């Protein structure tokens, strides 16, 4: 499997709507990670596609998610009733970008819309000259019930999706500290350092262990690997 490359990557923001705030596990931390991912997408000039689930009833994307920073990289928010993000509009976007081989997928709910979107992307691979691999940053995905996240992750790993973190995929996109733009990239990582920790503690460590993580667990990724 090739490394992530900015020129072949899209970002998919799935159904993060204010109406879900009181229902979703660690929702406020999900907002932090989502904004971090939008900064990363902007830095690497990666287009971003968003969806809402039945916006007429459930409202728009949470206004705390700052899509305005993206400018023309933001391809829009598409409303849907089906659970997968791969509607006819979004399939047309993918068809117009045959070079796309990876999608960074984040949002809610892990075991419904996120799962079905990832499976749809994997299924599309058989119809394209280049397969599409979904990358799921675990600190930017949630559900109403926290246990559902691990159930979805197990299914997605089995299906061929890549489970990662927002920071790991960001460095994979960067690739080399000698490349132009690394100084600005490093600035984003430093600015987001506290948000990364808060979101990761709530969405990863806080979900997979009932006991405080030790320094060794955090440094070695031990708690994450238990999921």
Measuring CA to CA, how many Å separate 122 from each of 65, 112, 119? 27, 15, 5
Which of 36, 39, 42, 80 is an active site residue? 80
Please confirm, yes or no, whether 46 is among the known catalytic residues: no
Which of 39, 46, 113, 139 is an active site residue? 113
Q: How many other β-carbons are positioned within 10 Å of the β-carbon of residue 96?
A: 8
Residues 6+ apart with CB under 8 A from 52: 15, 17, 58, 59, 60, 61, 77, 78, 79, 80
* Structure tokens that stand for 53 in this block: 């689930």
Which of 14, 15, 39, 46 is an active site residue? 15
Strand 162-164, strand 133-137: pairing: parallel
Nearest to 113 by CA among 89, 133, 134: 134
Q: For residues 29 and 199, give the distance between their C-alpha atoms in angstroms, rounded to a whole number.
A: 5
Please confirm, yes or no, whether 144 is among the known catalytic residues: no
Q: For residues 36 and 30, give the distance between their C-alpha atoms in angstroms, rounded to a whole number.
A: 10
Please confirm, yes or no, whether 193 is among the known catalytic residues: no
Q: Which residues are catalytic?
A: 15, 80, 113
């Amino acid at each position: 499997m090739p490394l992530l490359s900015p020129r072949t990557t899209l970002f998919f923001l799935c159904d993060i709507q204010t109406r879900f705030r009181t229902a979703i596990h660690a929702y406020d931390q999900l907002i932090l990670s989502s904004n971090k991912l939008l900064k990363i997408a902007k830095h690497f000039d990666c287009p971003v596609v968003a969806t809402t689930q039945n916006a007429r009833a459930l409202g728009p994307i949470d206004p705390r998610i700052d899509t305005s920073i993206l400018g023309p990289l933001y391809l829009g928010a598409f409303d849907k009733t089906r659970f997968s993000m791969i509607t006819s509009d979004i399939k047309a976007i993918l068809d117009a970008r045959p070079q796309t081989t990876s999608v960074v997928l984040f949002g809610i709910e892990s075991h419904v819309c996120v799962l079905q979107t990832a499976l749809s992307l994997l299924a599309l691979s058989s119809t394209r000259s280049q397969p599409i691999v979904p990358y799921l940053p675990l600190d930017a995905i949630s559900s109403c019930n926290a246990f559902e996240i691990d159930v979805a992750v197990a299914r997605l790993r089995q299906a061929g999706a890549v489970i990662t973190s927002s920071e790991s995929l960001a460095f994979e996109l960067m690739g080399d500290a000698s490349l132009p733009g690394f100084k600005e990239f490093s600035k984003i990582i430093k600015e987001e350092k506290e948000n990364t920790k808060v979101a990761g503690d709530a969405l990863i460590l806080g979900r997979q262990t009932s006991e405080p993580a030790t320094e060794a667990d955090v440094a070695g990724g031990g708690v994450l690997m238990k999921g």
